[in-house]
Structure 1
Amino acid sequence: MAVDRNGEQRDGRGLAVRAARPDDSEGVLALAPRLLEGVAPWRDPAGALRAAQGWLTGSLDAGALLVAEADGRLLGVISVTEQGHWTGARDAYIGELAVSPEASRRGAGRALVAAVTDWARQRGLESVTLQTGAANATARAFYAALGFAEEEVRLTLPLDPA
């Protein structure tokens, strides 16, 4: 992707990645349900949706959100922050990545991850990390195809209500 005079990254197909603006809020929040894919079945879907909306709103407010767009349509969103790893390394952390269903498998997700990778390299960070649901096979295959390696496993014991 080339960077244009507005600081946006553009590819040859008209896809642009840029920093999110406050007026992107509605389009960003419309992608929140996509973040529920792969959520464990014992988790509350309404609570998960509220959490996803809160994460996106918080990232937008903090200026830590990038969007992919083409022809004036918001196609995807990614959040990134700098985070410390328990080893002491500093990593870029992808909190959320969501792409609209119509943009799925059309390069928007790859473009967003590439923008985060550039962001991390510019800051001298050592890695890009993220978490996704164990049952989200589509996301796990996508990240593996981009070179992400599974590093940790989180285990949960769901408890029956008392």
Structure 2
Amino acid sequence: MSVRTATESDLEAWVALRLLLWPDTSPDTHRAEAAAVLAAPEATAFLEKAEDGSMRAFAEAALRHDHVNGCETSPVAFLEGIFVRAEDRGRGHGARLLAAVRDWARGRGCAELASDAHLSNVGSRAFHAALGFDETEHVVFFRMPL
């Protein structure tokens, strides 16, 4: 059980986990997005495998240079997604992934790590709070067709 940086050979197992976190996105889109993370100099992904070799969890992060709600510095490391299989939750896998993301962010000179979750995603909000994130604001987005 160790956290390591994702590689191209992890793509299909990683995509399978992404589908569990974001089921409304197609496998092809997930594949393209994961490949883009691997290719981006300001993004990363970390994975954790089970003893049997199956993928149990992942985290993705990127540097954001634009305004990040609730943050005061730039760039900000942003936790784009984190997921632990349901049967593996509550065993520290998310904390280990987050530690890897934090180390990666510090290594790039970041002073802040940000993330987001839908207001209705109580589990994600509790996870973030348990690992030391502070809620900064609640935002409602609007649109107007033109």
Greater C-alpha radius of gyration:
1
Aligned residue number for residue 11 of structure 1: none
Could you tell me how far 1:79 is from its partner in structure 2?
A: 1.0
Q: TM-score if structure 2 supplies the norm length?
A: 0.78
- Which of 89, 93, 100 matches 2:74? 89
Matched to 1:56, the amino acid is A
Could you tell me how far 1:136 is from its partner in structure 2?
A: 1.0
Give 4+ residue runs of structure 1 displaced > 4 Å after superposition.
none
Q: Secondary structure at the match of 1:133?
A: coil
Aligned residue number for residue 66 of structure 1: 46
Could you tell me how far 1:91 is from its partner in structure 2?
A: 1.4
Aligned residue number for residue 153 of structure 1: 138
1:106 aligns with 2:114: no
Asked if structure 2 preserves the Cα contact closer than 8 Å seen for 1:80 and 1:92, the reply is yes
Asked if structure 2 preserves the Cα contact closer than 8 Å seen for 1:65 and 1:77, the reply is yes
Aligned residue number for residue 19 of structure 2: 33
Q: How many residues align?
A: 136
Q: Give unmatched runs, 5+ long, in structure 1.
A: 1-14, 37-44
Q: Secondary structure at the match of 2:117?
A: coil
Q: TM-score if structure 1 supplies the norm length?
A: 0.72
Cα deviation 1:59-114 (Å, max 9, x = unaligned): 24436211112312211111111112535522111111111222222211111001
Asked if structure 2 preserves the Cα contact closer than 8 Å seen for 1:95 and 1:130, the reply is yes
Cα deviation 1:101-134 (Å, max 9, x = unaligned): 2222221111100111111222221111111121
Q: Give unmatched runs, 5+ long, in structure 2.
A: none
Q: Secondary structure at the match of 1:31?
A: helix
- Which of 1, 13, 17 matches 2:3? 17
Task: Give the root-mean-square deviation of aligned CA atoms.
Answer: 2.5
Aligned-residue sequence identity (percent) comes to 30
